[in-house]
Structure 1
Amino acid sequence: MHLTFPAPVFDANAQGASDKNFGDLPNWDLSDLYPAADAPEVQRDLDWVHTACATFAADYEGKLADLDGAGMYECITRNERISQVAGRLGSFAGLLYYQNTTDGERVKFFSDVQDKLTTSTAPLVFFSLEVNRIPDETIETMLGHADLARYRPIFERMRKMRPYQLSDELERYEHDMSIVGASAWNKLFDETVADLSFTVNGEDMGLEAIATLLSEQDRDTREAAAREIARVLGLNIKIFTRVHNTLAKMGDVEDKWRGMPTPQTGRHLSNDVEPEVVEALRNSVVAAYPKLSHRYYELKRGWLGLDKLQVWDRNAPLPMEEKRTIHWDEARKTVMDAYAGFDPKMAAIAEPFFDKGWIDAGVKPGKAPGAFAHPTVTDAHPYVMLNYLGKQRDVMTLAHELGHGVHQVLAAEQGEMLSSTPLTLAETASVFGEMLTFQKLLADAKTDAERKILLAGKVEDMINTVVRQIAFYDFECKLHEARKSGELTSADINALWMSVQGESLGPAFEFMDGYETFWSYVPHFVHSPFYVYAYAFGDGLVNALYAAYQEQPEGFQDKYFDMLKAGGSLHHSELLKPFGLDASDPKFWDKGLSMISGMIDQLEAME
C-alpha cells in the first residue's frame, strides 16, 4: 500500500526488533528527517514554513497573471521548496504516529504538526485558483520559458480542476476545516483499529496477527480466527458505520458544491486517468470473474476436499504445502536476488533500505496494520513499513513495497512537484517487483509440487489484487451512491458488501454469519476512497509489461527505468508508448487478465 502522508519514532535510533524465528527485524532510523520530535530543527522548520507561506502570498496573490515566464518559474520553485519542507515535517510526524498509533505523545505530535501546517499553508490556497483564472494563451506564453516548460504537467493537472473549483473563500474554508474533517475521521478509524484486541486459543493479539492466522494450515485455527474477527468487528460496527456514513456524506456534499458528476470523479482527476479507462478495466475484470476467481476457487475446493469453501479457506495453503517460517535474511536474499537478476542497478537502489534503517519490519503493539512505502520528500529518501510474520506472502509484500521504494528513489530527481505518480501508476513498480520475485522462485522450484504451490500462491495474489480490489471498488461505488439517499445502517452497508462478494468469489463459496462486517476494517475505504482500482490497474499494466519483457527483453530495462524516473511528469499514455501498450484499449486489460487465466490453465493441467 502507497501512503501519501504518513508517520515516525520519538527515539529515532531505536534498535531493530528481534524474533527468534525471523532474525533481527529492522526498525526505522528517522534521523535522516529529524533527530527527534523535540529537536530544535522541527520548530525551526515549522517557523520557516509559516513565514515562507505568508511571504509567498504577499509577493504573488493577485499578481500571477502579470508574471512572465521567468517570474512564474521563480514562483513555482518557491512553492516547491515550501512543499518540500512542509512534506518533511509531515512525513516525520506521520511515520512516528504509524509506528505506534496508541502512544499519546505521538498522537499529539502528529496532530499538532498537521494543525500547524494546515494553518501555515492556508495563505497558499489562492495559488491554483488564481492560476486557473489565467487565460490559456497567457499560460502558453509563460510556458515558452525553457525552465518553466518542464512544469507543464502541473499546469495541465491544475486546469483540469477548473470546472470544479469553488470560490476563493470557500476553498480557504475547506482548507482550514480539513484537520477536523476527513483527517480527524481517519485518525479515529486508525486508533480504533489499532486498539482492537482478538483472542484465539487463549492468546491475545492485534488485527495484523490474527489476519495471518487465516492462512494457517490448520483449518480449525483459520475458522477460529475468522469467527473472532467477525465477533470483534461486530462489537465495534457502530463506530465503523459512523465513520463511513460521515465520510461518504462529506464527499457527497463536496461533490455537489464542486459540481463533480460522480463520487469517483475526484479520484480519476487525481489519478490523471480518464473515467472510460477505469470503466474498461472494471468491465473487463467483472466479465472475467468466471474464468478467473470462479474457476480457481473451484480447483481449490477440490484440493482441500470440501463441498464448499468458507471465507477462512480463501487464503488457506494447499494440503501438500509445508508450514515454514521464512527468516528475515532469507526474505531479503530472495527479493534482492530477483531484483539483481532483472538488473543489478535495481538491487543497488534497494540495498540501503535494509542497511540504513529505511524499513520497519516487526509487528509491535499499536503499530498500524498492513504495509506501505512512503516517499517522504525528494531531498531525503523513502521509508517502508511492514508487519513481517515470516510467511511467503510477507516475502511478496517485501518485494512489493521495495518496488515502490525503488520507484520513489528514481522519481525523486523530478523534484517535489513532479516526482509523485498518480495512484494508477504508483503500483507499477511494486507489482513488477512481486512478479520478478515470483518468477525467480518459480525458476528455482525443484518439483512439480513446488511449482504448483508457487503458481497457486501467485494466482491467489493476483486474484486478491485484481478481482478482489475491483469488487471493493464496486462496493464503494454502491456505498457512496446509497448514501446519497440518506443515512445507512450497519445492516445496509453489510448488504452492499455481500452483494459483491458472491459475485466476485463465485459458487465455490458459502459465507459464515459475521462475514458481512468485514468491510469495516479496510483502510482504503476511509483514507483514500476509490483508491482500490489502482491495484487492479497496476496488476493489469504489469502483466502487459511483463509479457512485453518476455517477448522482447533486449533494451527493456532501460525503458523500464526511464518510465520510473519520469515519476508524475508524463501521462500514462506517454509512459506506455515505448512498450507499444495503450491502457485506453480494452484489449490491453484482456491481455493482462489472460496471464492470470494462463496460470490457472497450468494448474488445471497438473490435475
Structure 2
Amino acid sequence: MLDTADLNPYKFILNEWRKKADMHLTDDEESLVSDLMVDGYHAWGQFYHSLIGSIKVNIQVDGERNELSVPQAINLRSHLNEEVRKESYYALEEIWEEKKEQFAKILNHIAGFRLQVYKKRKLENILEEPLMENRINEETLSAMWKVVSKNKQPFIKYLNRKANMYGHTKMKSYNFWAPIKNTNQKIKYEEAVNFILEHFSQFGTELENFSRQVFNIEWIEAEDRPNKSMAAFCASFPISGESRIFMTYGNRITNVLTLAHELGHAFHNHAMKSINGINRQYPMCIAETASTFSEMIILDASMEKAESGEEKLFLLDEKLKRSVMNFMNIHSRFLFEERFYEERKAGIVSSSRLNEIMHEAINEGYVGSFDNPSIHSWAWTPHYYITKSPFYNFPYTFGYIFSLCIYAKAKEKGKEFEKDYLALLRDSGSMSTEDLVIKHLGEDITSEAFWEKGIELCVRDVEEFITLTS
C-alpha cells in the first residue's frame, strides 16, 4: 500500500507511526498513563516553573540594591562590572543550595515517572526515545560526541586567554558571558533591516525576498518597552503559511543577530509552505538549521565590516561563546542527564549526589577549564525539567555543527546553493536525518569526518582570537 502513488509521499512518517505504535501499551493502559501524566508527570514540570518564578534575588546593581527575578539575575552574567557579575553568581548559588531538596524532589519525580513508562513500553535504552524523536541513530550521536571530545583543546586555549584578560589564570564561571570589550555601537532597527537584507541577498534571492516581505508587512514585534519579555521566538501559523516574530530590539549588534536568527526560523516555515501538513514536522536537531545559518551570515558580515579591532574582537568573542556552549556546556548537560537517569533506575538520587554528578559532568565537558563551576546547574537549567522531551541538549550541538557545514557549502557555491538548501529544508520532515544529509549534502553523518569539517571552522575562530589578543 505504501508504494501506491497516494501513500508513497508519506512512507517515512507512516512507518515512523507504526514503529511508535508498536511501543504503545493497550488503549486502556495508554489512556491511564495519559491521565496520570496531567496531574503527575507534567504537574511536576509546571511546579518547577512556579518555584523558579517565586524566587527573588537581592543584588546590588549600579549602587542600588534590587530584588530581581531569577532570569533577571542570570542576565547580569553579561554585565560590564565584574563585581556585579560575581555577586549575582554567588547570590544565585546560595539560593540553589538553600532550595536544592525541592529541586531534587521535582527532578527525581519527573525522571522516575519517565522511567516507569519506559519500563512498561519495554524501552531499556534511555536514549531510545530522544534518538527516535530526532530521527537519528546512536551511531550518529556517538560520532558527533567523539569528534567534539577530541577537539576541545583549542577552546580551552580560548577560555584561558579570556581569563588572562580579566586577570585570572582560569576562567571564572561568572566571567564567561562578560563582553570582551565594551562596544558602544548603536544600530537602529532600520539599519539592521537594511544590513540583513543586503547580506541575505548574497546567499539567495528567495531568502532576501521573503525577509523583505516579512519586514514590509510587519510580521515582527520588536519594540523595546517596559515589562516586555526579553525572550525571542518565532511562531508558525501553518494554515495561513505565515510566521510572526517576537523580540525586544535594543539597538545592539546582539539584537541584530537575534533578528537574523528568528528570520531563519520563519524562512524554514516558509520553505515548508508547499509541503503537506503530515510531512511538515521536522525534528529538533534540524529546527535550528535555518536560524543558525541566517545568524552566521550576519555574524560573519558584521566581522568583515567591523570598523575597529575592538569591534571585531567583540563579535569574534560572541561567536566563540556559541561554540563553547555547544561543544562544552551542552556536552556536560548530556553527560549529567545520561548518568543521572542510570542512577535513578536504582532509586531516588539525593541532592548531594546530584551535585557530585553535575560537578563530574562539568569537569569532563569543560576538561577542567572552569574555575568553581556551578555544581547546582542541574537545579537552574530548565531543560532537565521539560516533560515533553528528554535529553533536550544534544540536538543543539547537532544543529550547530550541521548549520556550520551548510554555511560552508553556501559560501563555496554562492547563490547556486539556495535551490539545494530549500530542497533540504522541505525534506526535513519526511526522512531520517541520516538520509536527509546524504540526499542533499552527499555526506555521511555517522562518520566522524563530517563532524570534523564543522568544528574545523570554529577552531579557525579560536586561532584568530588568539592572534587579535596577542
1:194 counterpart (39, 53, 57): 53
Partner residue, 1:182: 41
1:280-429 matched pairs, under 5 angstroms: 280-292=143-155, 294-318=156-180, 320-323=181-184, 327-351=188-212, 355-359=217-221, 370-379=231-240, 381-386=242-247, 392-429=253-290
2:381 counterpart (511, 515, 522): 522
2:125 counterpart (233, 258, 262): 262
Cα distance change of structure 1 residues 184 and 357 upon mapping to structure 2, 3 Å threshold:
farther
Cα distance change of structure 1 residues 389 and 236 upon mapping to structure 2, 3 Å threshold:
farther
For 1:164, the aligned partner's letter is M
Contact 2:202–2:415 under 8 Å retained in 1: no
The worse-fitting range, judged by mean Cα deviation, of 332-341 and 174-183 is 332-341
Aligned-partner SS, 2:312: helix
Partner residue, 2:91: 228
Partner residue, 1:467: 328
Give, in whole Å, the separation in 2 of the partners of 1:503 and 1:279.
16
5+ long unaligned stretches in structure 1: 1-141
Give deviations 1:191-235, integer Å, cap 9, x for gaps: 333333223221233233322211122111111221222233334
Give, in whole Å, the separation in 2 of the partners of 1:461 and 1:536.
10
Partner residue, 1:453: 314
Give, in whole Å, the separation in 2 of the partners of 1:313 and 1:283.
28
1:241 counterpart (104, 124, 145): 104
Partner residue, 1:603: 465
Partner residue, 1:533: 394
Cα distance change of structure 1 residues 481 and 370 upon mapping to structure 2, 3 Å threshold:
farther
Partner residue, 2:359: 498
Partner residue, 1:593: 455
Aligned-partner SS, 2:7: helix
Contact 2:163–2:172 under 8 Å retained in 1: no
Give, in whole Å, the separation in 2 of the partners of 1:312 and 1:365.
26
Partner residue, 1:167: 26
Measured on the aligned residues, the alpha-carbon RMSD in Å equals 2.6
Partner residue, 2:140: 277
Larger Rg: 1
Partner residue, 1:125: none
Q: Which 4+ residue blocks in structure 1 deviate beyond 6 angstroms? A: none
For 1:563, the aligned partner's letter is L
Give, in whole Å, the separation in 1 of the partners of 2:100 and 2:214.
38
Give, in whole Å, the separation in 2 of the partners of 1:356 and 1:334.
17
Cα distance change of structure 1 residues 452 and 360 upon mapping to structure 2, 3 Å threshold:
closer
Cα distance change of structure 1 residues 187 and 588 upon mapping to structure 2, 3 Å threshold:
same
Report the alpha carbon displacement of residue 302 of structure 1 after superposing the two structures with TM.
2.1
Give, in whole Å, the separation in 2 of the partners of 1:598 and 1:370.
31
Partner residue, 1:149: 8
Cα distance change of structure 1 residues 523 and 412 upon mapping to structure 2, 3 Å threshold:
farther
Give deviations 1:270-308, integer Å, cap 9, x for gaps: 11110111111122212222233x121012122222233
Matched, 1:441 2:281: no
- Percent identical: 22
Give, in whole Å, the separation in 1 of the partners of 2:195 and 2:41.
40
Report the alpha carbon displacement of residue 510 of structure 1 after superposing the two structures with TM.
1.3
Give, in whole Å, the separation in 2 of the partners of 1:414 and 1:352.
21
Give, in whole Å, the separation in 2 of the partners of 1:239 and 1:375.
36
Report the alpha carbon displacement of residue 330 of structure 1 after superposing the two structures with TM.
4.8
Aligned-partner SS, 1:553: helix
Aligned residues: 461
Contact 1:230–1:518 under 8 Å retained in 2: no
Give, in whole Å, the separation in 1 of the partners of 2:364 and 2:184.
32
Aligned-partner SS, 1:147: coil
1:7-22 matched pairs, under 5 angstroms: none
The worse-fitting range, judged by mean Cα deviation, of 378-387 and 441-450 is 378-387
Contact 2:143–2:448 under 8 Å retained in 1: yes
Cα distance change of structure 1 residues 192 and 339 upon mapping to structure 2, 3 Å threshold:
farther
Aligned-partner SS, 1:199: strand
Give, in whole Å, the separation in 2 of the partners of 1:233 and 1:562.
46
Give deviations 1:374-408, integer Å, cap 9, x for gaps: 43544453344446666544433332232122212
Aligned-partner SS, 1:205: strand
Cα distance change of structure 1 residues 327 and 366 upon mapping to structure 2, 3 Å threshold:
closer
Cα distance change of structure 1 residues 417 and 364 upon mapping to structure 2, 3 Å threshold:
farther
Report the alpha carbon displacement of residue 545 of structure 1 after superposing the two structures with TM.
1.5
Cα distance change of structure 1 residues 360 and 442 upon mapping to structure 2, 3 Å threshold:
closer
Aligned-partner SS, 2:371: coil
Partner residue, 1:551: 412
Aligned-partner SS, 1:560: helix
Report the alpha carbon displacement of residue 587 of structure 1 after superposing the two structures with TM.
0.9
Partner residue, 1:17: none
Contact 1:198–1:207 under 8 Å retained in 2: yes
For 2:165, the aligned partner's letter is W
Aligned-partner SS, 1:373: strand
Give deviations 1:433-474, integer Å, cap 9, x for gaps: 111111110121123333222222201112212321122111
Give deviations 1:99-155, integer Å, cap 9, x for gaps: xxxxxxxxxxxxxxxxxxxxxxxxxxxxxxxxxxxxxxxxxxx22332222111211
The worse-fitting range, judged by mean Cα deviation, of 528-537 and 226-235 is 226-235
Partner residue, 1:250: 113
Give deviations 1:130-181, integer Å, cap 9, x for gaps: xxxxxxxxxxxx2233222211121121133255222222122223333224
Report the alpha carbon displacement of residue 565 of structure 1 after superposing the two structures with TM.
2.3
Aligned-partner SS, 1:467: helix
Give, in whole Å, the separation in 2 of the partners of 1:443 and 1:218.
28
For 2:127, the aligned partner's letter is Q
For 2:48, the aligned partner's letter is F
Partner residue, 1:76: none
The worse-fitting range, judged by mean Cα deviation, of 547-556 and 483-492 is 547-556
Cα distance change of structure 1 residues 175 and 384 upon mapping to structure 2, 3 Å threshold:
farther
Cα distance change of structure 1 residues 516 and 569 upon mapping to structure 2, 3 Å threshold:
same
Give, in whole Å, the separation in 1 of the partners of 2:456 and 2:294.
20
